[in-house]
Structure 1
Amino acid sequence: MLSGFFRLEYQNRTVLGEWKKVHWLKWKVSIGLSTIN
């Protein structure tokens, strides 16, 4: 039971980490585009 919980917690963290990375990239690109224009 406990190991399953830790596995779920780990998956949530990696998914959140990937989402933050993508979100940050989008934000960086939009900042870059706004400075070009």
Structure 2
Amino acid sequence: MRRSARRGDFRISYRVADTVTILAIEHRSDVYRPR
């Protein structure tokens, strides 16, 4: 149970990291866009 729970937490953390990375890339693209 604990091992599976830890794996689930790791998967969630990875998903969060991916989301943050995507948001950061989008933010940078918005910053680099000429206005």
Short-chain TM bin: 0.7 to 0.9
Partner of residue 26, structure 1: 30
| 1:28 Cα deviation from its structure 2 partner | 0.5
TM-align CA RMSD: 0.7
For the residue of structure 1 that corresponds to 2:12, the secondary structure is helix
Paired positions, count? 31
Structure 1 vs Structure 2: percent identity of aligned residues? 16
Q: Which amino acid aligns with 1:12?
A: V
Structure 1: stretches of 5+ with no match in the other structure? none
Moved over 4 A (4+): none
Structure 2: stretches of 5+ with no match in the other structure? none
Distance, in Å, in 2 between the alignment partners of 1:2 and 1:14 is 18
| 1:18 Cα deviation from its structure 2 partner | 0.1
